[in-house]
Amino acid sequence: MITDLWYKNAVIYCLSVRTFMDADGDGIGDFAGLERRLDYLQGLGITAIWLMPFQPSPKRDGGYDISDYYGVDPDYGSLGDFVAFTHAAKQRGLRVIIDLVVNHTSDRHRWFQSARSDPDSPYRHWYVWSAERPANADEGMVFPGVQKTTWTYDARAKAYYFHRFFDFQPDLNTANPEVRAEILKIMGFWIELGVSGFRMDAAPFVIAKKGPDVTGEPDEQFDMLRDFREFLQWRKGDAIILAEANILPKQDLDYFGADADRMHMMFNFQVNQATFYALAAGDTRPLIKAIDKTWKRPASAQWATFLRNHDELDLGRLTEKQRQTVFAAFGPDKDMQLYERGIRRRLAPMLQGDPRKIRLAYSLMLTLPGTPVLRYGDEIGMGDDLSLKERDCARTPMQWTGEKNGGFTKSDRPTMPVIGKGPYGYEHVNVAEQRHDKDSLLAWMQSMIRLRKEAPEIGWGAVTALETGEDAVLALRYDWRNNAVLCLHNLAARPIEISLRTGIEPPEGNLLIDLLTGARSEAADGRHLLCLEGYGYHWYRVGGLDALLKRSPA
């Protein structure tokens, strides 16, 4: 089995160029500013940077309405600035993956402008049209409560066009071979400029059949995923696609491919939602079920684990009772909720700013099966601004210092409001202050990221949930190449003592070495008696260093 797949033991950091660092003082983040902060990211310990869309766009949906796939929005710099950034990242051993937003374009894209202007346009069939308003036009909205329809009449085209998302984002007809060929060209272009892969936005919609006569369950064209992967592997052997696909476990292999010939990685939404229920209820049982249903995958495939991202926390896969439990704990006000299914807050305020809960949550995320994905500002516990619309509340600029605008820009007019008031204001929460505090969240996160990279068993190994006798305590053992790591988390506020068997034969199974503290636990009659403080967590090497040296292959 190949054991040098970089993404299997990576730590991915998601950021928006627009809100990360402004170098030229115009109030908008840019690639020159991002390049200045690469040493910070290298010091944090992350191994890959995921960039949200930065191509030219009207920015009516945070840049996910792209008007030119082959450029850099002038607000952020030039293609030359982008290449300088990817080169500088490579020098520091950091990989770059970018958003691949090919389910739809902006309605200002020249393809759509041509398509709507002339029925004989070569781009007419690059989009999805209907002469009459389809009967299901009021179904399938991605943003219920905000989006009104999925079919909109265009007076110039004298036809309705399909848009799974907002009406200014017409869907591409991905069944058209010319469109698929263009998608490959887009991937190839950015690969040549130093990119190591793509996060495919809305993957299930990209491959679903589209049209006025399409009804019922989605009909996905999975061969399209194989085509994308084959092209990518031919152009750059270690490049990857990370799919955003909020699907049920029964479909996992459809996206990974039973022969690992489709997507390299997928976000594990099932585990993500179960994690928040576990944190809200102190009940790990649904999380264990979600892990059991999803962890089995081809050896070269990988899950991406996460807590929060730039979208809402989607709770649509939970039962109604479970969802209400999470709402009550983390988003009780209607203003904190979104699209009738989720929460639009950042993690730190969701957890009431409690350092114990925040560290527990990130320790848990770092030890779930797969590759962890952090969001910019996670490492310092940034907050949100609920006065901003929809998802913008969690997309505020990075807080670097306690100076004006958090050190993000010298402009009096930042591209988005910087959080300047309350406990999450930049005077209280910023990188500069936490860098000088050995007990800060930033210092802790650096240490935990380093430890995560030193435990490849979590990214590569087979996972087993051990019996703890307590619903609030999660025990996951990872086995890989004859080595084992055991991770314990207590989701309750009260201390809990557990009696646990490692499931590994003596003598190795009789010894646990705490990777966080160095403390040792020796089993009595094959059982370890362990005490976890409230919201406590421990990462153990099973068998200790001696066993590791003895059992690892040369």
221 burial via Cβ count (<10 Å: 0-12, 13-18, 19+): middle
Of residues 283, 265, 281, the one with CA closest to residue 474: 283
Which 8-state DSSP code applies to residue 170? P
Catalytic residue among 201, 283, 378, 457: 201
> Catalytic: 30?
no
- Gap between the Cα atoms of 471 and 129, Å rounded: 52
Catalytic annotation, pick one of 35, 73, 107, 244:
244
Phi, psi values for residue 377, rounded to 5°: 90, -15
- The DSSP string of 381-400 is T----TTS-GGGGG-PPP--
Q: Largest alpha-carbon pair distance within the chain?
A: 80
- Residue 339, sorted as left (phi over 0), alpha (psi -120 to 50) or beta, turns out to be left
The answer to whether residue 340 is catalytic is: no
Instruction: Give the whole-angstrom CA distance, residue 22 versus residue 24.
Output: 6
Task: DSSP for 262-286, please give it.
Answer: S-SEEE-HHHHHHHHHHHHHT--HH
Pair of tokens at residue 139: 């179904």
Give the amino acid at 274: A
465 forms beta bridges with 476
Q: Which residues neighbour 540 within 8 Å (Cβ) at sequence distance 6 or greater?
A: 485, 486, 487, 488, 512, 513, 514, 515, 521
Buried (b) or exposed (e) across 413-438, using 16+ Cβ within 10 A?
Answer: ebbbebbeeeebbbeebbbbbbeeee
DSSP-assigned states of every residue in 461-526: SEEEEPP-S-TTEEEEEEEETTEEEEEEEE-SSS-EEEEE--SS-TTGGGEEEETTT--EEE-BTT
Pair 305, 361: CB distance under 8 Å: no
Q: Which residues partner with 538 through β-bridges?
A: 488
Pairing verdict, β 520-522 and 129-130:
unpaired
The dihedral region occupied by 59, where left means phi > 0, alpha psi between -120 and 50, and beta the remainder, is left
**Number of neighbours of residue 276 by Cβ within 10 angstroms:** 25
Q: Cα–Cα distance between 332 and 345 in angstroms, integer?
A: 11
DSSP notation for 408-471: S-SSSS-SS----SSTTSTTTS-HHHHHT-TTSHHHHHHHHHHHHHT-HHHHHSEEEEPP-S-T
Structure tokens at 222: 């999975």
Structure tokens of 21?
Answer: 């660092």
Residue at token pair 């491919």: 257
173 within 8 A of 163, measured Cβ to Cβ: no
Q: Which positions are annotated as active-site residues? A: 201, 244
